[in-house]
């Protein structure tokens, strides 16, 4: 039985998107530990008595809703996934949808998200204040009026007069040369913030037929080469 956010995982929609990435993370977590202290000493050592394993699965999907929407930035869950949400997963302790509704000052009254969110959450992301509409699938009031949830974001006027803002961090990747001798992959990462630096985690998806040599990796920042650790 599919329920909760798993309902949206429709293969023909995900695999025809612009980008999708699946990952599985497994790590040990200490559940019970004892702390030992030496006499007349401030040195302490923690010893783990019981270990649990944490399993974390992530799915990242990028849809090109703007080019495919006839010049409109409106979108909905049904347009992207061809499905809507009907219920929360009965085994989930929490199940939430976050919709970024951040906008510039002149655009604050132009965004309209339906239905009304359960709550609104604000956070600082990459040095900027972001606002998110939160839909809590475990909230009893969310499915009271309708048996399906189709989150929609609309603009109250045509977007021809609105300028698409450049993200603070963006990247480009291209392939040059050919073969194993002269072929190479170049990835350019841009930080447009006027003064702040950000940590970046780069995940490269390499085709199965391409062989990479780690010793040929070079990292260049502002024209100077940085040696990778």
pLDDT of residue 154 exceeding 70, the answer is yes
pLDDT of residue 107 exceeding 70, the answer is no
Q: What is the mean pLDDT of residues 98-114?
A: 76
Instruction: Give the helix/strand (H/E) hosting 24.
Output: strand 19-37
Residue 37 lies in a domain: no
Q: What letter would DSSP give residue 214?
A: G
Looking at the structure, do residues 75 and 146 belong to the same domain, yes or no?
yes
pLDDT of residue 34 exceeding 80, the answer is no
Residue 5 lies in a domain: no
> Distance between CA atoms of 155 and 62, rounded to whole angstroms?
20
Residue 82 lies in a domain: yes
Q: Which residues span the domain enclosing 185? A: 169-226
> Distance between CA atoms of 177 and 182, rounded to whole angstroms?
5
The more confident residue out of 55 and 155 is: 55
Give the count of domains, the chain. 2
* Residue that is last in its domain, among 163, 184, 215: 163
Looking at the structure, do residues 155 and 213 belong to the same domain, yes or no?
no
The more confident residue out of 126 and 42 is: 126
> Distance between CA atoms of 151 and 134, rounded to whole angstroms?
11
pLDDT of residue 16 exceeding 60, the answer is yes
Residues 6 or more apart from 120 whose CB is under 8 A from it?
Answer: 131, 132, 133, 134
Looking at the structure, do residues 173 and 152 belong to the same domain, yes or no?
no
Residue 136 lies in a domain: yes
pTM check: above 0.75: no
* Residue that is last in its domain, among 163, 185, 218: 163
Q: What is the mean pLDDT of residues 69-83?
A: 78
Q: What is the mean pLDDT of residues 73-95?
A: 86
Looking at the structure, do residues 215 and 183 belong to the same domain, yes or no?
yes
Looking at the structure, do residues 92 and 72 belong to the same domain, yes or no?
yes
Looking at the structure, do residues 69 and 119 belong to the same domain, yes or no?
yes
Most trustworthy range by pLDDT among 79-93, 97-111, 171-185: 79-93
Looking at the structure, do residues 173 and 105 belong to the same domain, yes or no?
no
pLDDT at 42: 44
Residues 6 or more apart from 58 whose CB is under 8 A from it?
Answer: 21, 22, 23, 25
The more confident residue out of 147 and 188 is: 188
* Residue that is last in its domain, among 140, 163, 186: 163
59 with 20: CB under 8 angstroms?
yes
């Amino acid at each position: 039985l599919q329920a909760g956010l798993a309902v949206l995982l429709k293969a023909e929609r995900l695999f025809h998107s612009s980008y999708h990435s699946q990952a599985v993370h497994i790590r040990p977590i200490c559940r019970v530990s004892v702390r030992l202290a030496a006499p007349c000493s401030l040195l302490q050592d923690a010893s783990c008595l019981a270990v649990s394993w944490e399993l974390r699965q992530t799915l990242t999907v990028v849809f090109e809703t703007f080019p495919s929407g006839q010049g409109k930035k409106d979108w909905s869950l049904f347009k992207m996934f061809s499905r809507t949400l009907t219920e929360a997963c009965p085994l989930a302790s929490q199940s939430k949808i976050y919709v970024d509704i951040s906008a510039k000052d002149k655009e604050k009254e132009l965004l309209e998200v339906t239905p009304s969110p359960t709550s609104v959450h604000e956070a600082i992301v990459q040095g900027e204040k972001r606002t998110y509409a939160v839909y809590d699938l475990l909230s009893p009031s969310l499915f009271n009026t309708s048996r399906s949830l189709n989150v929609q974001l609309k603009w109250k006027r045509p977007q021809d007069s609105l300028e698409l803002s450049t993200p603070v961090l963006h990247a480009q990747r291209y392939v040059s040369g050919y073969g194993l001798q002269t072929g190479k992959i170049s990835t350019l990462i841009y930080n447009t913030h006027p003064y702040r630096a950000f940590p970046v985690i780069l995940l490269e998806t390499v085709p199965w037929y391409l062989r990479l040599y780690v010793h040929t990796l070079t990292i260049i920042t502002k024209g100077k080469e940085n040696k990778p650790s």
